[in-house]
Amino acid sequence: MSQDLQEPEAKTFVEVALTLGGKSEEESRKTGKLDRADEQVEEMFAKRYQTANSPIHRAVWDSTLPVELFQAESTSVPPACQKVMDDSIAVVKRHIAAGTLFDENRKIAAHVLNDLAGAGYWGLLVDQEFGGQQCPFSAFAKFLTKMATVDATIAGLASVHGCIGAVDPLRTFGSTEQKERYLPKLANGERLSAFALTEPAAGSDLTALRTTARLDGDDYVVDGEKLFITNAIPGRTVGLVCLIDGKPAVLIADLPDHENEQFQIVKYGLYALKHSYNNGLKFNGFRVPRENLLVPGRGDGLTIAYHGLNLGRVALCANAAGTMRSMLANLLPWSDFRRTYGAKIGSRELVQRRIGRMAALIAGCDALVAWCSSLLDLGYRGEMECVIAKIFGSEAQKEASIELFMKTHGGRAFLHGHMFGDNVHEYLAPCIYEGEGEILGMGFFKSLVKEHGKAFFEPIGQALVKAGIKKPNPMNPAHAWALKDAALPYAKWRIAQTFAGKRHTNWPNMPEKFRAHAEFADAALAASRIEISKTMAKHQLKLADRQCRMSELSQRLQDMVVILATSLFGAKHEHPLMRDAADILCQDLTRKLTGKRPTDSYFRAVTKLGEAIEQGGFQEIAGIGADPIMMSYAPDPTSSAG
């Protein structure tokens, strides 16, 4: 065990705040573990790329908006990567056409995974020196959207393998020997991977891990159980999170080709992920060579787990963008075929609005994927940005599937064999994957306020405890005197904010409507710092218990960021309907934030967009096939329509 995993741990800001706020020692200690892992991930990045210097943090707290950091960098795809991508798409299309995509259990068949290995699919994110293509993440993420329009499960497996599986932990934390031993096999598909983190008692609360590993000679002996592990079958390689000497650690474990007394698969019925294997793993004296322990420079197993999540969150949003394209491509034939009162429903405003809204959600996902993946390529940690991509992508897919796709198809949506009925759980499950949305939203908020809290509120809290004041009253002279030194920096900050003028932003050349959206988001983000700070001042050390307030404020901040990123994305998009879709999303989110009702002008814009898409003008879904219309019927010979 490394010295880093044994040294005494100083209390983090969050741990101190919870203790001062009256939380139990256990809750403060466990929450402090997560906060410590977060800080240790921060230390892996140069200061300019850490959360405090991230685009969102600066957009809220700085006097100027770093507009250049909200614009996605254009990335060229290396020819070798493009070939692998094209060949991989061809492999999947070939198996779909031949009816050979699934095995007897309706899972992606082993021969398909092998053919993808031959195309180089599993090595897209592996370094070239280890046999991979080392694609820029921005190119990889955009490719996942395209693959998702062909098969979303296969797109998801690329993320499981390369982002949250064993590839990223080994690339980032592995020793030279570990990389040389494992990455070539992970690149060529000889070993596919997964990440075994979740347990029956440990989901959002990762401090509740119970799987243990003890050193016995040259091996670690693992005991415990994992749950909800995608791609977990015999013969896989997993990043196994366990407790070693009471501290989280990660072992790279090769699962045997067959179950035995030390290793069993735990099977259960699961509605989501129906075309991929998702199982539990049970270990009883399972041995892993001691040289398979990943040892980060600082931190522990939670540090390793946290690092790969950002990649997975962007990948989820990219997958949603592709899945919604498939929904839209399947909605249009129905809207053209189905007639009510003598006219096709695609000519009706409500259906046109739904089509326009779905395009808007696609535009938002594309904007976030391009922006976040670009930040990751530049070297930013991107924690808050990637959280927004995950939350928006999963919620957009949920809305698109139920409010837009299902309702337009009516009762046929529930037929066996219908795209919605057969995949509804696939559409909803991403709200839970990579962290449940509202829980992540609170994490986003805590990251945003952490530095502000350290600078101004931690000293006030410590002064309150020192003076024995449980309920501070500024009008009480004794309280004011006890807090005079600790509160002075915060008072100066508040005064400076009161007299600060409107910040000036150097916007790029952009159409007026997008400039207006960007300026609205900029002003809202700048103004939010006062509301955030007042919320912190009001609740002080009890803020951790105000989950509803944090969640609501977090969501508004996220919407502001989505408007900003989408307006900049839409302003330079080459296709006019995609620009219109981005404009619609910005209008929708602006109304959500301001509480204003939609105008007739808005309804004309969104239905005009829907009509243009219904007539075949949306290039974003060109080439995507549609399923046959189920329970079709002959047109009414007495009708004059069509």
Question: What secondary structure letter does DSSP report for 228?
Answer: E
pLDDT surpasses 80 at 641: no
507 against 541, higher pLDDT: 507
245 against 24, higher pLDDT: 245
Evaluate the CA torsion angle 556, 58, 18, 463 in order and state its sign.
negative
Work out whether strand 193-196 and strand 237-244 pair parallel, antiparallel, or are unpaired. parallel
Q: Residue 25 — very low, low, confident or very high, per pLDDT cuts 50/70/90?
A: low
Contact 79, 135 (CB under 8 A): no
φ, ψ of residue 347 to 5 degrees: the values are -90, -5
- Per-residue pLDDT at 152: 97
Mean pLDDT of 532-537: 93
Contact 460, 537 (CB under 8 A): no
Q: What is the pLDDT of residues 157-183, one digit of tens each?
A: 999 999 989 999 999 999 999 999 999
Distance CA 587, CA 598 (A): 9
> Which has the closest alpha carbon to 170: 245, 251, 229, 255?
251
Distance CA 28, CA 605 (A): 51
User: Beta-carbon neighbour count of residue 455 at 10 Å?
Assistant: 12
- Per-residue pLDDT at 482: 86
Residue where the block lists tokens 């980032």: 172
User: By mean pLDDT, which of 59-68, 311-320, 495-504 is the weakest?
Assistant: 495-504
- Per-residue pLDDT at 30: 61
Q: What is the pLDDT of residues 326-345, one digit of tens each?
A: 999 999 999 999 999 989 99
pLDDT surpasses 50 at 8: no
Percentage of residues in the chain having pLDDT higher than 70: 93
φ, ψ of residue 265 to 5 degrees: the values are -85, 135
Residue 117, token pair as written in the block: 């290995």
End-to-end Cα spacing for the chain: 74
Q: What is the pLDDT of residues 300-324, one digit of tens each?
A: 888 888 888 899 999 999 999 999 9
User: By mean pLDDT, which of 297-301, 427-431, 475-479 is the weakest?
Assistant: 297-301
Alpha-carbon torsion angle 36, 40, 43, 48, nearest 10? -60
Q: For residue 213, what are the β-bridge partners?
A: 222
Q: Could you tell me the maximum CA-CA distance found in the chain, to the nearest angstrom?
A: 88
Percentage of residues in the chain having pLDDT higher than 90: 78
Contact 474, 481 (CB under 8 A): no
Q: 3-state DSSP: the chain helix, strand, coil percent, rounded to 5? A: 60, 10, 30
* Number of Cα atoms under 13 Å in the Cβ half of residue 139: 18
- Per-residue pLDDT at 298: 66
- Say whether 223 sits in a helix, a strand or coil: strand
Which whole-number Å values give the CA distances from 286 to 3, 214, 254, 259, 328, in the listed order? 25, 10, 11, 11, 47
CA 56 to chain centroid, in Å, comes to: 16
pLDDT surpasses 80 at 541: no
Distance CA 357, CA 353 (A): 6
> Which has the closest alpha carbon to 84: 188, 219, 1?
188
User: Beta-carbon neighbour count of residue 297 at 10 Å?
Assistant: 11
588 against 248, higher pLDDT: 588
Q: Residue 80 — very low, low, confident or very high, per pLDDT cuts 50/70/90?
A: very high
Q: What is the pLDDT of residues 521-533, one digit of tens each?
A: 999 999 999 999 9
Mean pLDDT of 611-628: 94
Mean pLDDT of 18-25: 54
507 against 205, higher pLDDT: 507
38 against 278, higher pLDDT: 278
Distance CA 167, CA 170 (A): 5
Q: What is the pLDDT of residues 217-251, one digit of tens each?
A: 999 999 999 999 999 999 999 999 999 999 899 99
> Which has the closest alpha carbon to 335: 613, 582, 618?
613
Mean pLDDT of 103-118: 97
Distance CA 311, CA 380 (A): 12
Contact 141, 373 (CB under 8 A): yes
Q: Residue 6 — very low, low, confident or very high, per pLDDT cuts 50/70/90?
A: very low
For the chain, what's the residue count?
A: 642
Q: Residue 22 — very low, low, confident or very high, per pLDDT cuts 50/70/90?
A: low
Q: Which domains, from first to last, does the chain contain?
A: 193-294 (2.40.110.10)
338 against 74, higher pLDDT: 338
Distance CA 303, CA 313 (A): 16
List helix spans (H) across 468-511: 477-498
- Per-residue pLDDT at 1: 36
- Per-residue pLDDT at 471: 78
Q: Tell me the chain's radius of gyration from C-alpha atoms.
A: 26
- Per-residue pLDDT at 4: 38
- Per-residue pLDDT at 15: 55
